[in-house]
């Protein structure tokens, strides 16, 4: 089987190639934005430039059986775009559909699209499922839903199969974003006012997500399906911090402030969105992927946190 991975130097893309490079029966190819980016494991590389509505993917998609599409415009902390929503749509929607149309013309048989649980919403009362009515709030999630819709229509009109995966927060060694910043704070023993949060959050370890992605590249029952994924063990923000402290070997200093105080303080600091993510619940139901594909997480939350801690401490000691 010949597999193309877009975003091959990204957090998820690199992990996919590391896993699939172990399979000698696969012919892998990765795409990068510029020639300065390098892919490990001697995987052939195609420089395609930006993910855009007019990107030429012909060399990258030629003779490929499967595409795993991880490249995207993700959350931008300090967005310089004059209209962020337009830019998300230009890259994540128009850019993705441009790739998919060229994939169809090249005879690609399956397109595995990495979407986001944000398509379902940014907080849940009951666990999210694949049958929920989408309720994206942020521009990134809106663009992912619009890309899903366009890809689904294309799959219905052609012979190319579509598999859509919506992960929640993905964590692993050297994870980007807020998770990395939280680890840094925990490792320094800085007191956190998060000792009384009784929410429930679904997370997914990078190893678990990659295992499902690899499963979806060739499992017959995955064709034209959407899957939610997690570690199968939901935890509160307070539990997350305690478990990460154990993994890092660092005493955790938690102050049991009421959630209402946290939200009030965050609002005054203009950080209401951060407080919402820390204090609200977001759970996903993975029974569909378990029952339909027979898939289960390959590592536990505790093991996932240990791997994060090892990666963090190794990098810190370099």
- For the chain, the structural domain boundaries read 2-166
Residue 99: pLDDT over 70: yes
CA angle 192, 195, 198 (to 5 degrees): 135
34-65 per-position pLDDT tens digit: 776 777 778 899 999 999 999 999 999 999 99
Q: What is the pLDDT, as a whole number, of residue 2?
A: 97
CA distances 304 to 45, 286, 297, 298, Å, are 30, 18, 11, 10
DSSP state, residue 221: G
Q: What is the pLDDT, as a whole number, of residue 312?
A: 87
249-260 per-position pLDDT tens digit: 999 999 999 999
Residues of the chain with pLDDT > 90: what percent?
A: 80
Active-site hit among 41, 140, 171, 312: 140
The residue assigned the tokens 């680890």 is: 183
Q: What is the pLDDT, as a whole number, of residue 177?
A: 82
- C-beta separation of 79 from 35 below 8 A: no
Mean pLDDT value across the chain? 93
Q: What is the pLDDT, as a whole number, of residue 80?
A: 59
Segment 88-98 shows an average pLDDT of 97
Segment 113-136 shows an average pLDDT of 96
CA distance 223 to 117: 19
207-242 per-position pLDDT tens digit: 999 999 999 999 999 999 999 999 999 999 999 999
Instruction: Centre a 10 Å sphere on the Cβ of residue 149 and count the other Cβ atoms it contains.
Output: 14
Catalytic residue status for 140:
yes
Q: Return all residues near 249 (Cβ < 8 A) that are at least 6 apart.
A: 309
Segment 92-107 shows an average pLDDT of 98
Segment 285-300 shows an average pLDDT of 98
CA distance 184 to 169: 17
The residue assigned the tokens 């005879």 is: 107
Task: Report long-range pairs for 304-307 (Cβ below 8 Å, ≥24 apart).
Answer: 304/171, 304/172, 304/203, 304/205, 304/206, 304/207, 304/208, 304/231, 305/171, 305/243, 305/244, 305/246, 305/247, 306/247, 307/172, 307/173, 307/205, 307/207
Residue 77: pLDDT over 60: no
Fold exhibited by the domain 2-166: Rossmann fold (3.40.50)
User: Per the structure block, which two tokens stand in for 264?
Assistant: 């009030």
- C-beta separation of 111 from 163 below 8 A: yes
Residue 132: pLDDT over 90: yes
């Amino acid at each position: 089987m010949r597999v193309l991975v877009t975003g091959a130097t990204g957090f998820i893309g690199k992990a996919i190639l590391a896993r699939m490079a172990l399979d000698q029966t696969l012919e892998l190819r990765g795409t990068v934005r510029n020639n300065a980016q390098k892919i490990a494991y001697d995987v052939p590389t195609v420089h395609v430039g930006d993910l855009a509505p007019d990107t030429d993917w012909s060399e990258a998609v030629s003779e490929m059986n499967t595409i795993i599409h991880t490249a995207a415009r993700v959350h931008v902390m300090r967005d310089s775009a004059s209209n962020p929503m337009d830019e998300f749509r230009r890259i994540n929607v128009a850019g993705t559909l441009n790739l998919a149309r060229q994939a169809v013309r090249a005879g690609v048989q399956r397109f595995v699209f990495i979407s986001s649980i944000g398509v379902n919403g940014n907080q849940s009362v009951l666990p999210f499922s694949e049958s929920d009515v989408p309720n994206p709030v942020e521009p990134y999630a809106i663009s992912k839903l619009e890309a899903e819709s366009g890809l689904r229509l294309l799959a219905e009109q052609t012979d190319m199969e579509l598999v859509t995966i919506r992960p929640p927060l993905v964590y692993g060694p050297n994870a980007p974003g807020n998770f990395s910043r939280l680890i840094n704070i925990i490792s320094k023993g800085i007191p956190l006012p998060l000792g009384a949060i009784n929410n429930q959050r679904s997370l997914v370890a990078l190893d678990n997500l990659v295992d499902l992605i690899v499963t979806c590249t060739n499992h017959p029952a995955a064709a034209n399906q959407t899957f939610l994924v997690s570690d199968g063990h939901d935890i509160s923000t307070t539990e997350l911090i305690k478990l990460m402290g154990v993994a890092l070997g660092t005493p955790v200093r938690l102050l049991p402030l009421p959630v209402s105080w946290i939200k009030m303080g965050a609002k005054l600091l203009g950080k209401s969105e951060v407080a919402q993510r820390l204090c609200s619940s977001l759970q996903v139901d993975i029974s569909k992927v378990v029952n339909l594909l027979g898939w289960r997480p390959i590592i536990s939350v505790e093991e996932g946190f240990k791997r994060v801690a090892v990666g963090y401490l190794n990098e810190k000691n370099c």
